[in-house]
Structure 1
Amino acid sequence: MQILTTAAGLQAYTEQARRAGHRVGLVPTMGALHAGHLQLVQAARAECNEVVTTIFVNPTQFNNAEDFRLYPRVPEADAELLGPAGCTALFVPSVEEIYPQPAVLRFDFGALERVMEGAHRPGHFNGVATVVSKIFHMARPHRAYFGQKDWQQVAIIRQLVADLSFDLEIVACPTIREADGLAMSSRNRRLDAAARAAAPLLYQVLVAAAAQVRQGVSPAQVQAEAEATLAREPLLTPEYVEVADAQTLQPLVEYQPGRAVVLCLAAHLGGVRLIDNVVVDA
């Protein structure tokens, strides 16, 4: 596995791969890797000759300075995991390498970003779109791999690729969970013992809500009952629960035949913000 730190080095690596007729897979991450990240690397390796993993804690997508400061950073441990998983090149740029000058371009994804994460984290998706665009230009992958735990982010990136005509395919991989159902996340490292013990409630609430959706319970009732269950856990502060169209992400007033539903939530648990979702197919 090669370790690259500059945009020029990354461009040279992937350009050489392309000239050799190799397919390039890209796995963008912010590090503190877990089994969910490694699944993305393995999926990329199964479909591509070269797998580039990026580790960059992107300051422009954090609207909370303390969250950025506390985000786990373990680059040496991450590098040890990536080679055996199939990564052929690791890109670990500095902030100055990605942002030689402050970005002034502003993205607007319309209704896709006015709900859920976009509504609660102003500027978040502008930062995501900016850094992902830069990395796409630098790496020029054939495919880029993202986890479905960040369902809204995947939708935003698909829109970005369509709007800017990036010549690549977005591959979304299923959420990987702990044995008790908690979605794997780098932020889980920050949970203390009590918060970690309470954390499986997030997935339990989503599973119960999905069962209600399948039974035809109204979206408003599903949402209200999920919020009430979360609110009963003293360590947990719900931020949002949404019953939404899986494609448009817009909140549902009533179910539409043939349309998949996504159940999304965000909550603060012991000072750590976690998100999760479950999709109910049509």
Structure 2
Amino acid sequence: MAGEAGAWSLLVRAARFTGRTLRGEWHAVVVDPVRSLAHRGLSGLLLAFVAAFGVIFFHDLAQHPAGAAWVRRLGGVTADLPLWLSLLRTPVSLYVPALDLPVWAGITQLFLAFALAELVLGRARTLAVAYVTTLAGTLTARLMIHLGPGWWGFGLPADCGTVLDTGPSAAVVGLFTYLAVVRRAPVVFTLTGGSMVWESIAVPNLAGREHLVAVSAAIVLGLLRSRRLRLPYARENRPAPVPPPPAPPVPPAPEPRAPAVLPADPARARQCDGFRTSTGARTP
């Protein structure tokens, strides 16, 4: 009986913990962004619309031979490019759809990732996280190819340097992972990170490894952000000093009256004595 009661109590506590976690994640990932959207309007989805229309534009442009050449010149990133040229093309490569992925299926994920991130994080941090996670995957791929095969499966053969490395998938994965860390959303984190691990195992290609790197970079950024928010004396959370209230005005003290001094002149003294006598005072 005692064992059954303990197991039942443990099950109840686990159910309550799961319910609190899911309720908190629902408010953090759905309710709060919807409230922000209702307050800001469609202007809060600017990055999401720009990202979606950018991918659609470059996808349509790449359907023509001349357009495909221009798309490759502007946003085509490969590991065998010079580093400066790769860094220059990386921002545009976010809008160039990958060749082996369906563009219309990825636009929904792209729009949702940028919309949630912009509503929760703001535009500046959304762009920063998207670019840093994409750049981390691109630079790590160059390092893997430079190391060559081996290195306990970390290195890659040289022919991977010619693979076109474009698409917003690393940014999407990074944004979802960062949101899951800073908003404490374990379900979103499990779905995002678990799908990337499964992808890297099922299809061991360059894109799968870059997605894992993007997830790792987003975890590090999220943990740094969460730690900074928990610091008791963080500069951004430190309340501004409240000036002391002004002291009430002190009324001026009345000036003391000087005591009456009798004149030293005997004639004037007699006049004063006569005044006292006329008012009823006795003279000695």
Give TM-score, length-normalised by structure 1. Answer: 0.24
Mark the structure with the bigger radius of gyration: 2
Which protein is richer in helix relative to its size?
Answer: 2
TM-score of the pair, normalised by structure 2: 0.24
